[in-house]
Protein backbone atom coordinates (compact mmCIF):
# COMPACT_ATOMS: atom_id res chain seq x y z
CA UNK A 1 0.00 0.00 0.00
CA UNK A 2 2.79 2.42 0.94
CA UNK A 3 4.81 1.54 -2.18
CA UNK A 4 1.71 2.02 -4.35
CA UNK A 5 0.89 5.42 -2.84
CA UNK A 6 4.49 6.56 -3.17
CA UNK A 7 4.67 5.53 -6.83
CA UNK A 8 1.32 7.19 -7.49
CA UNK A 9 2.64 10.50 -6.13
CA UNK A 10 5.86 10.25 -8.16
CA UNK A 11 3.97 9.43 -11.38
CA UNK A 12 1.58 12.34 -10.78
CA UNK A 13 4.54 14.63 -10.12
CA UNK A 14 6.24 13.73 -13.41
CA UNK A 15 3.00 13.95 -15.36
CA UNK A 16 2.07 17.36 -13.95
CA UNK A 17 5.48 18.92 -14.44
CA UNK A 18 6.19 17.57 -17.92
CA UNK A 19 2.61 18.09 -19.06
CA UNK A 20 2.71 21.80 -18.27
CA UNK A 21 6.20 22.48 -19.62
CA UNK A 22 6.19 21.02 -23.11
CA UNK A 23 9.25 22.24 -24.97
CA UNK A 24 10.85 23.85 -21.92
CA UNK A 25 12.69 22.91 -18.79
CA UNK A 26 10.36 20.82 -16.61
CA UNK A 27 9.79 22.77 -13.42
CA UNK A 28 7.13 24.40 -11.28
CA UNK A 29 9.45 27.38 -10.93
CA UNK A 30 9.08 30.30 -13.32
CA UNK A 31 11.75 32.40 -15.00
CA UNK A 32 14.79 33.08 -12.84
CA UNK A 33 13.05 32.04 -9.63
CA UNK A 34 15.68 29.54 -8.55
CA UNK A 35 18.55 31.84 -9.52
CA UNK A 36 17.48 34.35 -6.89
CA UNK A 37 20.21 35.20 -4.39
CA UNK A 38 18.98 38.20 -2.43
CA UNK A 39 17.19 41.53 -2.42
CA UNK A 40 19.03 44.81 -2.17
CA UNK A 41 18.04 48.44 -2.27
CA UNK A 42 18.39 50.01 -5.69
CA UNK A 43 21.49 52.10 -6.35
CA UNK A 44 22.38 54.10 -9.46
CA UNK A 45 23.69 51.77 -12.14
CA UNK A 46 21.55 48.77 -11.20
CA UNK A 47 19.60 47.16 -14.05
CA UNK A 48 16.03 48.49 -13.75
CA UNK A 49 14.80 45.25 -15.31
CA UNK A 50 15.63 43.49 -12.05
CA UNK A 51 13.34 45.71 -9.95
CA UNK A 52 11.21 43.71 -7.55
CA UNK A 53 7.93 45.59 -7.88
CA UNK A 54 6.17 43.74 -5.07
CA UNK A 55 8.82 44.61 -2.47
CA UNK A 56 9.28 48.11 -3.93
CA UNK A 57 5.56 48.83 -3.48
CA UNK A 58 5.56 47.46 0.05
CA UNK A 59 8.67 49.30 1.21
CA UNK A 60 7.94 52.50 -0.77
CA UNK A 61 11.52 52.58 -2.07
CA UNK A 62 13.09 50.62 -4.94
CA UNK A 63 14.57 47.15 -4.44
CA UNK A 64 16.20 44.93 -7.05
CA UNK A 65 16.62 41.18 -7.28
CA UNK A 66 20.19 39.90 -7.22
CA UNK A 67 20.73 36.56 -8.95
CA UNK A 68 23.39 33.91 -8.59
CA UNK A 69 26.01 33.89 -11.31
CA UNK A 70 26.10 30.12 -11.34
CA UNK A 71 23.15 27.78 -11.64
CA UNK A 72 23.85 25.46 -8.71
CA UNK A 73 21.80 26.21 -5.62
CA UNK A 74 21.23 24.50 -2.32
CA UNK A 75 17.58 23.57 -1.75
CA UNK A 76 16.41 22.35 1.67
CA UNK A 77 12.96 20.75 1.90
CA UNK A 78 11.69 20.50 5.48
CA UNK A 79 8.80 18.16 6.25
CA UNK A 80 7.28 19.34 9.56
CA UNK A 81 6.18 16.24 11.44
CA UNK A 82 3.47 16.58 14.07
CA UNK A 83 0.51 14.51 15.16
CA UNK A 84 -1.90 16.99 13.59
CA UNK A 85 -0.84 16.07 10.03
CA UNK A 86 -2.43 12.64 10.59
CA UNK A 87 -5.82 14.01 9.60
CA UNK A 88 -7.88 14.79 6.52
CA UNK A 89 -11.47 14.77 5.34
CA UNK A 90 -10.40 14.52 1.67
CA UNK A 91 -6.79 13.32 1.82
CA UNK A 92 -4.57 13.14 4.86
CA UNK A 93 -2.44 16.25 5.28
CA UNK A 94 0.57 13.96 5.49
CA UNK A 95 -0.09 12.71 1.95
CA UNK A 96 -0.62 16.20 0.53
CA UNK A 97 2.60 17.34 2.20
CA UNK A 98 4.41 14.39 0.62
CA UNK A 99 3.15 15.40 -2.81
CA UNK A 100 4.22 19.01 -2.26
CA UNK A 101 7.66 17.73 -1.23
CA UNK A 102 7.80 15.58 -4.35
CA UNK A 103 6.91 18.47 -6.67
CA UNK A 104 9.43 20.89 -5.16
CA UNK A 105 12.22 18.32 -5.01
CA UNK A 106 11.63 16.98 -8.52
CA UNK A 107 11.57 20.47 -10.02
CA UNK A 108 14.80 21.45 -8.29
CA UNK A 109 16.56 18.21 -9.23
CA UNK A 110 15.54 18.58 -12.87
CA UNK A 111 17.10 22.06 -12.74
CA UNK A 112 20.32 20.35 -11.58
CA UNK A 113 20.18 21.95 -8.14
CA UNK A 114 21.19 20.13 -4.98
CA UNK A 115 18.33 19.06 -2.72
CA UNK A 116 18.47 17.91 0.88
CA UNK A 117 15.44 16.63 2.77
CA UNK A 118 14.79 17.04 6.47
CA UNK A 119 11.97 15.58 8.57
CA UNK A 120 11.74 17.55 11.80
CA UNK A 121 9.47 17.49 14.85
CA UNK A 122 11.17 18.80 17.98
CA UNK A 123 14.36 17.18 16.68
CA UNK A 124 15.79 15.71 13.50
CA UNK A 125 13.76 12.64 12.57
CA UNK A 126 15.32 11.99 9.15
CA UNK A 127 17.90 13.74 7.00
CA UNK A 128 19.01 13.06 3.45
CA UNK A 129 22.17 15.02 2.59
CA UNK A 130 22.33 17.26 -0.51
CA UNK A 131 22.04 15.33 -3.75
CA UNK A 132 21.32 15.88 -7.44
CA UNK A 133 20.04 12.33 -7.94
CA UNK A 134 16.40 11.99 -9.04
CA UNK A 135 16.45 8.52 -7.54
CA UNK A 136 16.59 10.12 -4.09
CA UNK A 137 12.83 10.68 -4.35
CA UNK A 138 12.36 6.92 -4.16
CA UNK A 139 13.85 7.21 -0.68
CA UNK A 140 12.31 10.44 0.61
CA UNK A 141 8.69 10.01 -0.55
CA UNK A 142 8.18 6.53 0.98
CA UNK A 143 9.96 7.82 4.09
CA UNK A 144 7.60 10.76 4.70
CA UNK A 145 4.50 8.76 3.73
CA UNK A 146 5.36 5.86 6.00
CA UNK A 147 6.18 7.82 9.12
CA UNK A 148 3.96 7.72 12.22
CA UNK A 149 3.56 11.36 13.32
CA UNK A 150 1.19 10.70 16.24
CA UNK A 151 2.43 12.00 19.57
CA UNK A 152 4.87 14.42 17.95
CA UNK A 153 4.90 18.21 17.71
CA UNK A 154 7.01 20.76 15.88
CA UNK A 155 9.34 22.92 17.95
CA UNK A 156 10.04 25.90 15.69
CA UNK A 157 12.74 27.31 17.96
CA UNK A 158 14.63 24.02 17.80
CA UNK A 159 14.07 23.91 14.02
CA UNK A 160 15.55 27.38 13.47
CA UNK A 161 18.55 26.54 15.68
CA UNK A 162 19.05 23.29 13.78
CA UNK A 163 18.89 24.90 10.34
CA UNK A 164 21.23 27.73 11.27
CA UNK A 165 23.68 25.23 12.73
CA UNK A 166 23.61 22.74 9.87
CA UNK A 167 22.81 24.77 6.74
CA UNK A 168 25.81 27.07 6.46
CA UNK A 169 25.43 27.95 2.78
CA UNK A 170 22.73 30.44 1.86
CA UNK A 171 19.85 28.27 0.68
CA UNK A 172 16.27 28.15 -0.46
CA UNK A 173 14.36 26.56 2.42
CA UNK A 174 10.87 25.13 1.92
CA UNK A 175 8.92 24.50 5.12
CA UNK A 176 5.99 22.12 4.55
CA UNK A 177 3.51 21.55 7.38
CA UNK A 178 0.25 22.68 8.95
CA UNK A 179 1.90 25.35 11.15
CA UNK A 180 -0.19 24.73 14.25
CA UNK A 181 1.13 25.44 17.71
CA UNK A 182 2.61 28.51 19.30
CA UNK A 183 6.07 30.02 19.29
CA UNK A 184 6.49 30.25 15.52
CA UNK A 185 9.37 32.69 15.02
CA UNK A 186 11.33 32.29 11.79
CA UNK A 187 13.05 35.67 11.90
CA UNK A 188 16.51 34.16 12.47
CA UNK A 189 16.35 32.41 9.08
CA UNK A 190 16.73 35.79 7.40
CA UNK A 191 19.92 34.93 5.53
CA UNK A 192 18.05 32.23 3.61
CA UNK A 193 15.18 32.55 1.17
CA UNK A 194 12.29 30.82 2.92
CA UNK A 195 8.98 29.54 1.58
CA UNK A 196 6.14 28.26 3.78
CA UNK A 197 3.66 25.74 2.39
CA UNK A 198 0.81 25.63 4.93
CA UNK A 199 -1.22 22.44 4.47
CA UNK A 200 -4.67 22.43 6.03
CA UNK A 201 -8.01 20.61 5.87
CA UNK A 202 -11.13 22.73 5.49
CA UNK A 203 -12.99 20.68 8.09
CA UNK A 204 -10.47 21.46 10.85
CA UNK A 205 -10.82 25.19 10.14
CA UNK A 206 -14.60 25.00 10.06
CA UNK A 207 -15.81 21.91 11.96
CA UNK A 208 -19.36 21.09 10.86
CA UNK A 209 -20.28 19.08 13.94
CA UNK A 210 -22.66 19.58 16.83
CA UNK A 211 -23.41 17.74 20.06
CA UNK A 212 -21.18 15.65 22.27
CA UNK A 213 -18.02 14.52 20.50
CA UNK A 214 -14.86 12.71 21.55
CA UNK A 215 -11.55 14.37 20.76
CA UNK A 216 -8.00 13.06 20.72
CA UNK A 217 -5.05 15.44 20.80
CA UNK A 218 -2.80 13.95 18.13
CA UNK A 219 0.29 15.53 19.70
CA UNK A 220 -0.21 14.75 23.40
CA UNK A 221 -2.41 11.69 22.67
CA UNK A 222 -4.77 12.78 25.45
CA UNK A 223 -8.51 12.32 24.92
CA UNK A 224 -11.46 14.36 26.07
CA UNK A 225 -15.17 14.80 25.45
CA UNK A 226 -16.90 18.11 24.86
CA UNK A 227 -20.26 19.50 23.86
CA UNK A 228 -19.69 21.32 20.58
CA UNK A 229 -22.33 24.02 20.24
CA UNK A 230 -22.58 26.54 17.37
CA UNK A 231 -21.32 29.24 19.73
CA UNK A 232 -18.27 27.21 20.76
CA UNK A 233 -17.51 26.37 17.13
CA UNK A 234 -17.69 30.07 16.24
CA UNK A 235 -15.28 30.97 19.05
CA UNK A 236 -12.90 28.27 17.84
CA UNK A 237 -13.01 29.63 14.27
CA UNK A 238 -12.42 33.17 15.52
CA UNK A 239 -9.46 32.13 17.67
CA UNK A 240 -7.90 30.20 14.78
CA UNK A 241 -8.42 33.15 12.45
CA UNK A 242 -6.65 35.49 14.89
CA UNK A 243 -3.76 33.07 15.26
CA UNK A 244 -3.42 32.52 11.51
CA UNK A 245 -3.55 36.28 10.86
CA UNK A 246 -0.62 36.73 13.24
CA UNK A 247 1.25 33.93 11.44
CA UNK A 248 0.70 35.52 8.02
CA UNK A 249 1.82 38.90 9.32
CA UNK A 250 4.95 37.36 10.84
CA UNK A 251 5.85 35.61 7.59
CA UNK A 252 5.27 38.76 5.54
CA UNK A 253 7.33 40.89 7.94
CA UNK A 254 10.31 38.60 7.38
CA UNK A 255 9.83 38.29 3.62
CA UNK A 256 8.80 34.65 3.79
CA UNK A 257 6.60 33.74 0.85
CA UNK A 258 3.67 31.57 1.91
CA UNK A 259 0.73 29.73 0.43
CA UNK A 260 -2.08 27.72 1.99
CA UNK A 261 -2.78 24.35 0.41
CA UNK A 262 -5.97 22.50 1.33
CA UNK A 263 -6.37 18.72 1.16
CA UNK A 264 -9.06 19.05 -1.52
CA UNK A 265 -6.81 21.14 -3.78
CA UNK A 266 -4.30 20.16 -6.44
CA UNK A 267 -0.79 20.74 -5.02
CA UNK A 268 0.75 21.34 -8.45
CA UNK A 269 -1.66 24.20 -9.23
CA UNK A 270 -1.10 25.95 -5.89
CA UNK A 271 2.68 25.58 -5.97
CA UNK A 272 2.90 26.76 -9.57
CA UNK A 273 0.95 29.87 -8.64
CA UNK A 274 3.22 30.41 -5.62
CA UNK A 275 6.37 30.58 -7.73
CA UNK A 276 4.81 32.76 -10.39
CA UNK A 277 3.98 35.61 -8.01
In whole angstroms, what is the distance from residue 58 CA to residue 254 CA? 12
What was the pLDDT predicted at 210? 72
Per-residue pLDDT tens digits for 51-76: 888 788 888 888 887 765 444 578 99
pTM: 0.83
Per-residue pLDDT tens digits for 238-267: 999 999 999 999 999 999 999 999 999 999
Cα Rg of the chain (Å, integer): 20
Question: Measuring CA to CA, which residue among 179, 212, 218, 213 is closest to residue 195?
Answer: 179
Q: Do residues 151 and 145 make contact, with C-beta atoms less than 8 angstroms apart?
A: no
In whole angstroms, what is the distance from residue 122 CA to residue 80 CA? 9
Partners of residue 7 on adjacent β-strands: none
Give CB contacts under 8 A, 24+ apart, made by 22-30.
Answer: 25/110, 25/111, 26/107, 26/110, 27/107, 27/110, 27/111, 28/103, 28/104, 28/107, 28/268, 28/271, 28/272, 28/275, 29/107, 29/108, 29/111, 29/275, 30/272, 30/275, 30/276
Per-residue pLDDT tens digits for 192-227: 999 999 999 999 998 877 777 777 778 888 888 878
**Cβ burial, residue 103 (10 Å; 0-12/13-18/19+):** buried
**Strand ranges across the sheet with 74-80:** 124-131, 114-120, 74-80, 172-177, 193-200, 257-262
Amino acid sequence: MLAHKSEEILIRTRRNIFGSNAGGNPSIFAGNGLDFAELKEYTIGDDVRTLNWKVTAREQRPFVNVFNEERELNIVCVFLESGSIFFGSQRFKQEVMAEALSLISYSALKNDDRVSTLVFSDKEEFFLPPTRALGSLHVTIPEVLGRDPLGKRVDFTALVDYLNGRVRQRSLIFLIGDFYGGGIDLSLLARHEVYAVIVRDRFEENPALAGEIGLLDAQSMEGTTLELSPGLAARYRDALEVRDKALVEHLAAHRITATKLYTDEEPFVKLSALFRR
